[in-house]
Amino acid sequence: MKVLQAVLATTAVLAAICAAPAVTADVKVGDKMPKLKVGNLYNNQFDVNLNDLDGYVVVVEFWATWCGPCRASIPHLNDIDKQFKDQGVVIVSLSDEGDRTVRPFVKEMKMKYLVGSGSTSIRDFGVNGIPHAFLVDPNGIVRWAGHPMAGLDKEIANAVQKYKPIRRLGGGPEWNDHLLTEIEGAIAREDYQTARINLRRLDVESMNPKDKKDKLGQRYTKVLSTLSKAAESELRMAMADVKAKRYEAAMNTLKKLAADFPGVPVGIKAADELERLQNDPEVTKARRSSFNSKLAANALKRAEGALAAGDKLTAYRRLKALIEKYIGTSAADDARKILARLEADADFMKTVNEDEGG
């Protein structure tokens, strides 16, 4: 009976594949995969960043809850995920439906792989029918496209052997070795920005810097020490900005340092100072004043632009609004001077009065 049920299930799936109209897409084999866009991402226990999929073999599938063949593909995709996720394969299944529809469906159908709702990526890929899957190599190049039930598992097995992913969910030693090499090269070039970007991408939890036998951990300790020393000068500059009340510049620097060096002394100091500034009423007041000054300056430019174009009436209205909204700013003071010149023109003021009266 079980054999018969399996045969019937397989027959039904194949019938659905055969009966479905041909599905095409604008993205072809050999193209670079477009960026993936989602509203919500489920089953993301490894904190996968869809903008950072280099190193993985990636399956991108487009589907919907109302699509019968899509539902039929779910157990097969679960099996593929179980078989290949430890080999550097990531499945991302995208629907344009909202969170309220997709979230309970993921739970009901026991979908194990990454699932995204509210995605607009189907338009970027130019897919005209679902389900439709793309197989992407570790460099982001599409290597296969088709129905997820039409040989996808074999294509993945071939891709894992041919393109050799250097990353698996959570990171892994191959990925760390690759990134540490990139970081060491960037430090040698004094390209500290690139080095710090890659530092964030390391799977730190899989390394043990205290173990002298852990070569990756030792390399990590060395690059971290080098980058921390360079970051100390940035921290000093940020503190100088705080002292000079250049809070916006200071806080931007502190945010970057805290994000790049979590748990490291320079990052801890940056995070502590950032928290202090965020909770300081005087700093909040100063930042708000600075922000209003920028808005007022932009409003003044728009008024001056209208004046230069000969549209005095629009310029007059904008100047009046600026003065009223951004009291105490230097842009408001400049606006008053321009407004005074306009109001000294009797003919123009007659036009203003007629316009306001009309």
Helix (H) or strand (E) holding 246: none
Distances (CA, A) of 352 to 278, 310, 320: 46, 15, 12
Instruction: Tell me the two tokens of residue 274.
Output: 């950032």
Instruction: List, in sequence order, the alpha helices (H) in the chain.
Output: 2-19, 68-84, 99-108, 121-125, 152-163, 173-188, 192-201, 215-243, 247-260, 265-278, 281-308, 312-325, 330-343, 346-357
Q: Please write the tens of the pLDDT for every residue from 38-86.
A: 999 999 988 899 999 999 999 999 999 999 999 999 999 999 999 998 8
pLDDT confidence of residue 205: 82
Q: Please write the tens of the pLDDT for every residue from 210-247.
A: 898 999 999 999 999 999 999 999 999 999 999 999 99
pTM: 0.62
Q: Please write the tens of the pLDDT for every residue from 112-166.
A: 999 999 999 999 999 999 999 999 999 999 999 999 999 999 999 999 999 999 8
Q: How do the domains of the chain map onto residue ranges?
A: 22-163, 173-279, 283-357
Q: What's the CATH fold of domain 22-163?
A: Glutaredoxin (3.40.30)
Judge contact between 223 and 207, C-beta under 8 A. no
Instruction: Tell me the two tokens of residue 57.
Output: 């073999």
Residue 191, Cα to own-chain centre: how many angstroms? 23
* Pairing state between β 89-94 and 114-117: parallel
Instruction: Measure the CA–CA gap between 94 and 115, rounded to whole angstroms.
Output: 6
> What phi, psi does 349 have (nearest 5°)?
-65, -30
Instruction: Tell me the two tokens of residue 104.
Output: 């309970």
DSSP for 322-339 reads: HHHHSTTSHHHHHHHHHH
Q: Quick one: the chain helix, strand, coil %, rounded to 5?
A: 60, 10, 30
